[in-house]
Amino acid sequence: MIADLDIVLRDARNSLRQKGVLKTLRLALPYLRSHVDRLRESTRGARWTKMDRKDAFDSRYGTETSGLVDLEDMGVSEEARSHSSDYKPTLPRVFHRVISEMRIRHEDFVFIDYGSGKGRILLLASDYPFRRIVGVELSPALHEIAGRNVAIYRSRRQRCREIELKVGDAGELEPPRDAHLVCYFYYPFDEELLGRVLAKISAAVEGGKRQAWLLLINPPKPEVIEAAGIFELVAATRRPARVDRWLNWRIYKTKGTTG
Ligand SMILES: C[S@@+](CC[C@H](N)C(=O)[O-])C[C@H]1O[C@@H](n2cnc3c(N)ncnc32)[C@H](O)[C@@H]1O
């Protein structure tokens, strides 16, 4: 590396002498670009490696929910991927923080994780006495892993054992109409698809008798939720982080419903 640097500096000095500053810079540009790219790749690689390690949640429960997964490697078509984000699990402390904001009788609610991935959120939600928990996941491979995790998870705190896993596009899911809803989104897809999902949720609670709560981690622009016309903001991260956006959250609920 040092030897490489010596050669580069010597060549640069020679070039400056013979060709001048402008020409040297023009010649050096592709070289510098490739180095910046390599540096970027290696830092991204380091971050991914760190995320791929079993984290504290998996070490504790023997599950497999950690890691970042590229949907390209998970048998998801290019068209579907164009609307979707890759797999990355929510941090448990963020989930518990958000869910503790809701003063509800969990038994009256069905919890839905839109884009449930390896199922971590379904497991964390099962520590609360929800009537039922539903996860919908686009990738069949992640759906399968989630099934294994649900079978493995054992916790003294678990209060709900009715966990239903669905594989398919969240945009096609008809939310249940027999209970209030808690709908969880950890930035699973783009705003266009989110708009379609919100329309289905709105239709499911139409008539104002049932509530729908939206828990949004790394939330979209407020206008996207406001466009649905039926939700009001309940709570949000006090000081949203610009870089660590997965720590930011917002909670909405259907206007005019009590709870
Ligand atoms: C950021 S991960 C969140 C995983 C999990 N909900 C959590 O919080 O730990 C987003 C997930 O959404 C899934 N996803 C993306 N588009 C989807 C779609 N159209 N329908 C269902 N799932 C989708 C991805 O495969 C991925 O598993």
* Mean confidence (pLDDT) of the chain: 88
Ligand 1 atom nearest to CA at 189: 16
Please indicate, yes or no, whether residues 164 and 231 belong to a single structural domain of this protein. yes
Please indicate, yes or no, whether residues 109 and 230 belong to a single structural domain of this protein. yes
CA of 22 to the centre of ligand 1 (A): 49
- Domain assignment present for residue 185? The answer is yes
Please indicate, yes or no, whether residues 23 and 148 belong to a single structural domain of this protein. no
DSSP annotation of 97 reads H
Whose C-alpha lies nearest to ligand 1, atom 2?
87
Banded pLDDT at 52 (limits 50, 70, 90): low
Among 186, 190, 246, which residue has the most ligand 1 atoms within 8 Å of its CB, making it the best to mutate?
186
Top-ranked range on mean pLDDT: pick from 2-11, 32-41, 201-210 = 201-210
- Domain assignment present for residue 155? The answer is yes
Please indicate, yes or no, whether residues 91 and 77 belong to a single structural domain of this protein. yes
Confidence check: pLDDT of 35 > 70: no
Of 151, 153, 207, 152, the closest CA to residue 177 belongs to 207
Quote the CA–CA distance of 62 and 59 in Å, as a whole number: 6
Among 63, 81, 83, 88, which residue has the most ligand 1 atoms within 8 Å of its CB, making it the best to mutate?
88
Pocket of ligand 1 (CB under 6 A): 71, 83-85, 87-90, 113, 115-117, 120-121, 136-139, 142, 169-171, 186-189, 193
The β-bridge relationship of strands 180-186 and 212-217 is: parallel
64, exposed or middle or buried, with CB in 10 Å at 0-12, 13-18, 19+?
A: middle
Please indicate, yes or no, whether residues 217 and 239 belong to a single structural domain of this protein. yes
> What integer pLDDT is reported at residue 93 of this predicted model?
93
- Domain assignment present for residue 259? The answer is no
Please indicate, yes or no, whether residues 85 and 23 belong to a single structural domain of this protein. no
Please indicate, yes or no, whether residues 28 and 133 belong to a single structural domain of this protein. no
Banded pLDDT at 134 (limits 50, 70, 90): very high
Please indicate, yes or no, whether residues 119 and 15 belong to a single structural domain of this protein. no
What's the structural domain count of the chain? 2
- Record the pTM: 0.82
246 versus 123: the higher-pLDDT residue is: 123
> What integer pLDDT is reported at residue 47 of this predicted model?
46
Please indicate, yes or no, whether residues 106 and 218 belong to a single structural domain of this protein. yes
Q: Which two tokens stand for residue 140?
A: 């069949």
Of 15-29, 88-102, 211-225, give the lowest mean pLDDT range.
15-29
Please indicate, yes or no, whether residues 14 and 121 belong to a single structural domain of this protein. no
Whose C-alpha lies nearest to ligand 1, atom 14?
115
Q: Which of 16, 32, 51 is the last residue of a domain?
A: 51
| Average pLDDT score over residue span 158-181 | 97
Please indicate, yes or no, whether residues 180 and 123 belong to a single structural domain of this protein. yes
Query: For residue range 171-183, what is the model confidence (pLDDT) as tens digits?
Result: 999 999 999 999 9
Q: Looking at this protein, which amino acid is placed at residue 8?
A: V
> What integer pLDDT is reported at residue 170 of this predicted model?
97
- Domain assignment present for residue 214? The answer is yes
> What integer pLDDT is reported at residue 48 of this predicted model?
43
152 versus 246: the higher-pLDDT residue is: 152
CA of 169 to the centre of ligand 1 (A): 10
For residue 178, the enclosing domain spans: 56-254
193 versus 48: the higher-pLDDT residue is: 193
Confidence check: pLDDT of 96 > 80: yes
Please indicate, yes or no, whether residues 64 and 45 belong to a single structural domain of this protein. no
> What integer pLDDT is reported at residue 36 of this predicted model?
56
CATH number of the domain within which 159 lies: 3.40.50.150
- Domain assignment present for residue 229? The answer is yes
- Domain assignment present for residue 9? The answer is yes
Q: Which of 33, 51, 69 is the last residue of a domain?
A: 51
Whose C-alpha lies nearest to ligand 1, atom 16?
84
| Average pLDDT score over residue span 49-77 | 84
